[in-house]
Amino acid sequence: MSVDRQEETRRATNPLFNANRLKLGIFAHNCSNGCAISTAEGVLETTWANTKAISVLADRAGFEALVPVARWRGFGGPTNFNGSSFETYTWAAGLAAVTEQTAVFSTSHVPTVHPIMAAKQATTIDHISGGRFALNVVCGWFQPELEMFGAPIMEHDTRYDYAAEWLEIVRLLWTSEEEFDYEGRFFRIQKGFHQPKPIQRPFPAVMNAGGSAAARRFTAKYADMAFVVSHQDDYEQARAQGASLRRLAYEEFGRELQVWAKAYVVCRPTEKEARDYLHYYVEEKGDWEAVENLTRIMGLQSQQIAPAAMAAHKFHFIAGWNGYPLVGTPEQVVDGLQQIAALGIDGCLLSWVDYLGGIQQWNAEIMPLLEQAGLRRPLRR
């Protein structure tokens, strides 16, 4: 089968490759609190009933993606933010069985899962979902988690060398009809073998995030979707990141690349009500101890960041993992998404304080406006 024909089979089953101008996803609803580092009432609790209900609502509304966070321990503070979580391969398998049209991701820390196991698990989910699986590859940055596994704490660029070998083996298992040997710096595979193959050909979609030179090159070479991480409402930074990644992917590797971002949603009947609630759950109810731990572990506090900029980082981390703010009325939320799409962003992952109530409101009040704005096509049921 030709490469073009294989891509056609992937596009036929995986909504990540549909024609919507701005694709949508739900982010981090496998973890306690989701993306809101807050003690406010209604924050997400880690129950299967919650994650299933949110996912089914997204599926029925035509969202393209369900993307979990791979988390093995929390960040302390009163919330122990993300301290309770579902493992992402088994989570994805469960959701693949109860959804019909949304792509279901697993987020995989490559130092914690052997590539042969990852390839088998991913293929199983791809079959359960009918070809809707996608893999979010994470190299591992949260040192206390890696220490739990006894995994080596690798130098930054070495992590991406390791991830490249890991993903090359996974893809060989997904595509090779014959046994193969692999001799690399980190892995040695003897007579590698894997059946059945994934439904998607040549293989399931891959997402990666990271802003360093090594991360950008890895994304450009291997990923179908780049998850760009910009600062709060710095739209021009996102435009530059996306354009640079697309150019690198095309010029160096002859590949096309989608660019995705994340945003947190606070939607109320009036802008004042939305901003008052944002102030309440961040300033009054925010878990500042947990966000202090998070930014320290990420190394942000060791960088030369002005105090005002650092305070803004922490505010937006509490509000929604440092995503873009979509705050206001339904019309203002849509205006914000139009701004994001105008930067060349293909997809946006969303979070709320109250995920279930938020997605119900989104489907009823915001999705029709997105269709009117031309960002999305009406859903065919």
The model's confidence at residue 237, banded by pLDDT at 50, 70 and 90, is: confident
**CA dist., res. 293 & res. 284, Å (int):** 18
* Cα–Cα distance measured from residue 314 to residue 321, given in angstroms and rounded to the nearest whole number: 9
Give the CA dihedral 228, 234, 239, 242, nearest 10 degrees. -10
Global pTM reads 0.95
| pLDDT tier at 7, thresholds 50, 70, 90 | low
Place of tokens 């139009």: 338
The architecture in CATH of the region 3-372 reads: Alpha-Beta Barrel (3.20)
Q: Say what the pLDDT of residue 63 is.
A: 98
24: β partners: 348
- pLDDT tens, residue by residue, 118-165: 999 999 999 999 999 999 999 877 788 888 888 778 888 999 999 999
Which of 194-198, 225-229, 261-265, 324-328 has the least mean pLDDT?
225-229
Question: Which among 120, 213, 116 is positioned nearest to 159, based on CA atoms?
Answer: 213
pLDDT tens, 312-335? 989 999 999 999 999 999 999 999
d(CA 353, CA 299): 26
C-alpha closest to that of 109 among 148, 139, 87, 72: 139
Residues contacting residue 39 through CB under 8 Å, at least 6 positions apart? 78, 79, 285, 286, 287
- pLDDT category at 308 given cuts 50, 70, 90 is confident
What pLDDT score was predicted for residue 303?
66
Q: How confident is the model at residue 301 (pLDDT cuts 50, 70, 90)?
A: low
Cα dihedral 334, 338, 344, 349, rounded to 10, equals -10
The token duo for 121 is: 């698990």
In tens, the pLDDT along 158-205 reads: 999 999 999 999 999 999 999 999 999 999 999 999 999 999 999 999
Tell me what the pLDDT averaged over the chain comes to: 93
With 60 as the cut, is the pLDDT of residue 302 above it? no
DSSP three-state, residue 312: helix
Backbone angles phi, psi at 133, to 5 degrees: -80, 150
> pLDDT digit string (tens) for 77-113?
999 999 999 999 999 999 999 999 999 999 999 999 9
